[in-house]
Amino acid sequence: MAALDDSVARVALELPLRANLTARDNIALIPLYQRHLNAAESTRQAQAMLDGLGHGDIAGLRDPDMTPAQRFVTQLARALMLKRPRLVIDRPGAMLYDVPYPAFIQRLAARSEIGGTWEIFDFDWNQALYPQ
């Protein structure tokens, strides 16, 4: 999984948020450093991404203050901000242990305005959780 190329944005337990930055700042790093936008515009885009996913209220939270679902949404928003053609969610059960996660991810996917392919990699024994 670690060897996936740069066309893939990953959401995974082993790719955590920067702990001393807020959710908004974690996401804003990407336009700031990759697209060289200024701080104000990067922050605006980060907030818009969280709003788009229906979690604008968590923008000011830092990683230790988030619930697992809020942390997942922030990681997902960061991955979406990368604007890569593929999005891989790696073992969501390890991150989303406080919500019924296939339905939760489906709701987020329905809200997201960013296209591309979303792929979920999960353990075989969790197959029954997903609609067939």
Partner 1 sequence: MNFLATSIESLGARFVGWISVGYGLFAFAGRAALLLLAPSTWNRATYDVVIKQVYFTAVQILHVFLGYALVISWLLVTIILSTAREFGLTEFATEMTIRVLVLELLPFLTALFIALRSGSAINTEVALMRVNNELDALAHCKVPPMQFEFLPRLIGGVISVVALASLAGLLALLLAYLSIYGLTMAGLSAFTQTVARIFDFRIVAGLIIKCALFGLAVTLIPVVSGLETPRKLFMVPVSVLSGMMRVFFAIVVIEVLSLALKYI
Tell me whether residue 14 is exposed, middle or buried, using C-beta atoms within 10 angstroms of its C-beta: 0 to 12, 13 to 18, 19 or more.
exposed
Q: Which stretch binds partner 1 (CB under 8 A): 25-33, 48-56, 108-116, 122-130?
A: 25-33
- Is there binding between residue 5 and partner 1 (CB under 8 A)? no
- Cα–Cα distance between 69 and 96 in angstroms, integer? 6
Residue 33 is a binding residue for partner 1 (CB under 8 A)? yes
Q: How many residues bind partner 1 (CB under 8 A)?
A: 19
- Give me the least distance between CB of 124 and partner 1, in Å please: 25
Indicate which single residue of 22, 23, 30, 88 sits in contact with partner 1 (rule: CB under 8 A): 30
**DSSP-derived secondary structure for 63-91:** GGGS-HHHHHHHHHHHHHHT--SEEEEE-
What span, in angstroms and rounded, lies between the C-alpha atoms of 30 and 46?
9
55 near partner 1, rule: CB under 8 A = no
Footprint of partner 1 (CB under 8 A): 6, 10, 14-20, 29-30, 32-34, 36, 38-39, 78, 82
